[in-house]
Amino acid sequence: MTPTTTPRLTVAQPLPLPLTRERLLESIETLPALPEVALKVTRLVDDPGVGASEIGRVISTDQVLTARVLRLANSAFYGVSRRIGTVQEAVLILGMRTIKTLTLAASMYPTLQREVRGYSLGKNDLWRHSIACALCAQTLAKKAQPQAVSQLGPVTPDEAFVAGLLHDIGKMALSVHLGPRFTLVRDRALTEKIPFLEAERAVLGLDHAQAGAAMAEKWNLPASLADAIACHHNPLGAQHGNVGLACTTNIADGLCLSLGIGVGGDGLLSSLQTEAVEALGLSGRLDEVADEFLAALQDAESLFEFDRAA
């Protein structure tokens, strides 16, 4: 069995400003890589000729990943009454698209559970925020008005989950550069009354959404996903066809921050776009979404506590 390739993120010392996309990517000596198995599963699920047994077989080649996927599949969140013992069984019970999201979440866990010191996020804080956003985005994709979404580009619950999971990955790369300049960025945001993201761009030359999109492209993830990450604070600025996905990500991020899940030193200095809520046909229904999402979170505690058992 091949061991999981733990995503690594080795970043050099803070670069001189302004940062650029190219210099940032160069500064990351070893880019965090999605394990090959996760990428393979992502591709196979989109191939209509591939069956459940093949997906299960591919995941099973990675022992650590298999254990994590099974742990997620058996969490209360998925509500399976009996114990799932094998990945093949998980694929059959939960479906290939759910297994794809579980595989990606399990693969990203080693990266996202780390402390992100530049943003004052402790160990597991970014993981909690990311997995909560993923679940919230999934809820939003299911609740969005189909007519509204059809004009913005299709948003499937599993796409929304992945975008929610990865939307803040750029914070991992930007953290070391932000750290020593954090006060400068925060004061700029407070003084000029601008979102933290804009202050990042003004001071550092690059914001965490741009950094995240660059990483997604480096991982060869779909362009729609990279665009949703790039525009998760400005969803209507996404390319035509990706607006729906960017909107679900923006609202999920805003709701999770508002509920205090994974709030870092940048606090709530980010915006939830009214236009995004309207675009998904959810005006006046956000309290209802928040209520349902909170109920789902009760079942998701085992996902948050992933590290204890993984």
Point out which residues bind another protein (CB under 8 A).
Answer: 119-120, 182-183, 186, 190, 195-196, 254-255, 257-275, 286-288, 290-292, 294-299
Cβ–Cβ under 8 Å, residues 235 and 243: yes
What region does 280 belong to: left with phi over 0, alpha with psi -120 to 50, or beta? alpha
User: Which of 114/129 has CB closer to another protein?
Assistant: 129
Cβ–Cβ under 8 Å, residues 134 and 193: no
User: Which of 90/197 has CB closer to another protein?
Assistant: 197
User: Which of 74/120 has CB closer to another protein?
Assistant: 120
User: Which of 224/273 has CB closer to another protein?
Assistant: 273
Which one, of 29, 36, 28, 31, lies nearest residue 4 by Cα?
Answer: 36
Closest distance of CB 90 from another protein, Å: 24
Closest distance of CB 80 from another protein, Å: 18
The encoded tokens of residue 94 equal: 């939960």
The encoded tokens of residue 251 equal: 């609202």
Closest distance of CB 268 from another protein, Å: 5
Closest distance of CB 293 from another protein, Å: 9
User: Which of 58/112 has CB closer to another protein?
Assistant: 112
AA letter at 69:
V
- Please give the Cα distance from 34 to 15 (Å, whole number): 25
Closest distance of CB 182 from another protein, Å: 8
Sign of CA dihedral 166, 233, 182, 22: positive
Closest distance of CB 287 from another protein, Å: 5
The encoded tokens of residue 79 equal: 């509500």
What region does 79 belong to: left with phi over 0, alpha with psi -120 to 50, or beta? left
The encoded tokens of residue 103 equal: 């595989």
**What CA dihedral angle connects 7, 97, 304 and 178, to 10 degrees?**
40
User: Which of 102/261 has CB closer to another protein?
Assistant: 261
User: Which of 46/288 has CB closer to another protein?
Assistant: 288
User: Which of 62/200 has CB closer to another protein?
Assistant: 200
What region does 271 belong to: left with phi over 0, alpha with psi -120 to 50, or beta? beta
- Max Cα distance, the chain (Å): 57
Closest distance of CB 12 from another protein, Å: 24
The encoded tokens of residue 3 equal: 């061991």
Closest distance of CB 248 from another protein, Å: 15
What region does 3 belong to: left with phi over 0, alpha with psi -120 to 50, or beta? beta
